[in-house]
Amino acid sequence: MNLKRRQFLFSSTLGAIGTGFVGWMLNHQNHQSAEISDSTAAIAANPPKKDLLLRFVSVADTGTGAKGQYAVARAMNFYHKQNPYDLVVLAGDNIYNNGEIEKIGEVFERPYQGLLKQGVKFQACLGNHDIRTANGDPQVKYVGFNMKGRYYTFRRGIVQFFALDTNSNADWKNQLSWLEKELSLSNASAKVVFGHHPIYSSGQYGSNSAFIKTFTPLFKKYGVQLYINGHEHNYERTRAIDGTTYLICGAGAGNRPVGRSEWTEYSTSDLSFAAYDVYKDRIEVRAIGTNNRVFDKGIIQLKSA
């Protein structure tokens, strides 16, 4: 949705919003408009800075095999050529509609063949559509998704990633015990958790109060700087909430409208993916649309090692 359209929709709802909140929104929107003009630019070749430690991207709700998925995949390919990366966080709903592994060529191997041929590794988790067939077990076993189980962890340099099964039928008791143990043992400077379902969201499903109660104390206690998810077919980045940024990248093949909340830094329904450059003291986030333009930029601060 372009800026003029967002402004029109925003203006049409002013009568229903309190005066103080209106003032906050107007100021924030003006600030965001300035950010858009600064950050919306065609992707250019960006030679890695000498202190760049890791570059990766994330995308979710991809597995349609339709034109939207291919449009985002082309943008991911283009970004890879300009700014090489070798890791994709794939945050669920990898195979629509029912997680049928027989569709893997149509919805994964062909759309991302350019990246796969370059040795880019996808690390997946399970979405709600993925568990409709055999509870997602065929996807867990599929070599291209590099899953070590329904929940698992892996390390890339100073970053430790924690993949979750956020579905309602997950083994929650054991998974949460595992997560706290792994977080407590981690000496990584950057901790990134990803799952399919949102914790904070201004989209169709909204924030999950049970997840807020369950996860946010753990994230705060153990210094998780970033949570990545899909499920909402949009892009949304929050400000840091008790030290954690929540980023939705679920517009990997289709899109739905998204609103704004008091903690929203940026939101849009545009088809897109997110890219991350990791340095010793920060993670630089970029959101990239199918026109190969950066429409959002943010910085996640890390504690210096």
Q: Where are the domains of the chain?
A: 40-301
At a CB cut-off of 8 Å and minimum separation 6, what does 158 contact? 53, 54, 188, 189, 190, 278, 280, 302, 305
Instruction: Decide if pLDDT at 45 tops 90.
Output: no
Whole-Å CA distances, 291 to 95, 111, 168: 25, 17, 36
Q: Which pairing describes strands 152-156 and 121-124: parallel, antiparallel, or unpaired?
A: unpaired
Q: What are the φ/ψ torsions at residue 288 (nearest 5 degrees)?
A: -130, 130
What SS3 state is found at 187?
coil
pLDDT of residue 50: 80
Task: Fold for 40-301, please state it.
Answer: Purple Acid Phosphatase; chain A, domain 2 (3.60.21)
DSSP secondary structure code for residue 25 in this structure: H
pLDDT tens-digit readout, 180-235 = 999 999 999 999 999 999 999 999 999 999 999 999 999 999 999 999 999 999 99
Whole-Å CA distances, 247 to 50, 264, 299: 27, 10, 12
User: Residue 80: which pLDDT band, with cuts at 50, 70 and 90?
Assistant: very high
